[in-house]
Amino acid sequence: MDLLQILTVSIETAIGPIAAIYVLAAIGLNIHFGYTGLLNFGQVGFMLVGAYGVAVSVTTFDLPLWLGLLASIVCAAILALLLGIPTLRLRADYLAIATIAVAEVLRLLYRAQFARPITGGVYGRNSFADGFYGINPIPPGSYGIGDVDFSADELWLMVVVWGLVAAALGITAALMHSPWGRVIKGIREDEDAVRSLGKDAFVYKMQSLVLGGVFGGLAGAMIALNQQNITPDQFMPQVTFYLWAMLLLGGAARTWGPVLGPVVMWFLLTAFDELLRSLASMDIVPFLETSQIGALRHAFVGLALILLIVYRPQGLIGDRKEMLVNVK
């Protein structure tokens, strides 16, 4: 068993493009849940329309890549409006139900037979990312420190996604330290109180839903660029729940919570996978087949969440004092 190898792979995953993409989506979820108190259980829906926004624009409609990315943003914003207009005037739980259902309905719509001319149906879309890697300014080669290394294309994507993360963090921090953010947090605590003070809670919730949704959509677009092919069935509901687990692990309503959560979670997940795999290959663990490792991973995430909520409900960097405040 090569522990160094396991460590290297885990670090590569923790700082790699996929973790960065999850960070971006988790920042959106943090705006929704952490700051505004919106229960969005369909962040994967925003990622789906974002991914298809760029893929469909470039393949089906032959548009340039930048227009595709713009389409991703617009699609996410439209989805937020469609979700928000009927539900945001109602109690918080309606948004939760609507988001989880709509995300799943969207997946089924995008994979449906009749949608095939546009979305490619179950086969999805591919070869739309050439424009992105074509403008890669990083010369080909391998970059990294020690055993941790990335190809030029990976590094290019990492620069872009972590750049987006930095921008999203900057925007979020600026907003949350402004009077706008104060109203948003007030809505999380008690919407009626905020309304009684002359603030239109509906408009604020809508703005929050759109902003967080756009970050989710951009994360989806980055998934598309990372994989260079997408199918609807990778946008399953569990993506949303991974995001929730990561956000709660990092600490909701904290600027760095949605950054730390996915990074730590991807590190642990990969280390767990790799460890089990090497143990399985050494035949030390009885009854464990390599094919079962994926299922064990879900159990591991579940266990981690339970322990987290029992022993550290505020997440890694949350404020315990704030958690323990009597909310009544």
Q: Classify residue 294 as exposed, middle or buried by CB count within 10 Å of its CB (0-12, 13-18, 19+).
A: exposed
Binds another protein (CB under 8 A): choice among 15, 185, 275, 280? 185
- Subset of 105-164 contacting another protein (CB under 8 A): none
The single-letter DSSP state of residue 89 is T
Nearest CB to another protein, comparing residues 82 and 197:
197
Among the listed ranges 91-99, 198-206, 238-246, 260-268, the one in contact with another protein (CB under 8 A) is 198-206
305: exposed, middle or buried (C-beta count within 10 Å: 0-12, 13-18, 19+)?
Answer: middle
Structure tokens that stand for 190 in this block = 């008690």
Q: Which stretch binds another protein (CB under 8 A): 199-207, 212-220, 224-232, 239-247?
A: 199-207
Residues 258/30, Cβ–Cβ less than 8 Å: yes
Among 82, 85, 166, 193, contact with another protein (rule: CB under 8 A):
193
SS3 306: helix
Query: Residue 173, interface with another protein (CB under 8 A)?
Result: no
Name which of residues 84 to 113 contact another protein (CB under 8 A).
none
Span interacting with another protein, options 56-64, 197-205, 290-298, 309-317, rule CB under 8 A: 197-205
Query: Applying CB under 8 A, which of residues 90, 130, 180, 233 lies at the interface with another protein?
Result: 180
Out of 112, 174, 296, 307, the only residue in the binding site for another protein (CB under 8 A) is: 174
Least gap, CB of 324 to another protein (angstroms): 9
Q: Which is nearer to another protein, 77 or 103 (CB)?
A: 77
**Residue 192 touching another protein (CB under 8 A):** yes
Q: Identify the residue among 186, 220, 261, 262 touching another protein (CB under 8 A).
A: 186
Minimal distance, residue 189 CB to another protein, in Å:
4
Rounded to an integer, what distance in angstroms lies between the CA atom of residue 17 and that of residue 104? 25
Smallest separation, CB 195 to another protein (Å): 4
Q: Is residue 198 a contact residue for another protein (CB under 8 A)?
A: yes
Q: From 260, 50, 15, select the one nearest 158 (Cα to Cα).
A: 15
Return phi, psi of residue 283, to 5°.
60, 35
Cβ neighbours of residue 232 closer than 8 Å, sequence gap 6 or more: 48, 107, 108, 110, 111, 119, 122, 124
Q: Which is nearer to another protein, 146 or 179 (CB)?
A: 179
For residue 72, CA distances in Å to 18, 48, 64, 77, 176 come to: 18, 9, 13, 9, 25
Joined together, the tokens standing for residue 227 give 């994989």
**What is the DSSP code string of 183-199?**
HHHHHHH-HHHHHHTT-
**CA–CA distance, 130 with 257 (Å, rounded to integer):** 33
Residue 61 engages another protein in binding (rule: CB under 8 A): no
**Site for another protein (CB under 8 A): which residue of 207, 231, 240, 270?**
207
Least distance between another protein and beta carbon 186 (Å)? 5
Residues 6+ apart with CB under 8 A from 203: none
Which stretch, 44-52, 55-63, 158-166, 320-328, contacts another protein (CB under 8 A)?
320-328
User: Which one of residues 77, 165, 201, 221 is an interface residue with another protein (CB under 8 A)?
Assistant: 201
Interaction site with another protein (CB under 8 A): 174-175, 178-183, 185-186, 188-190, 192-201, 207, 211, 321-322, 325-328
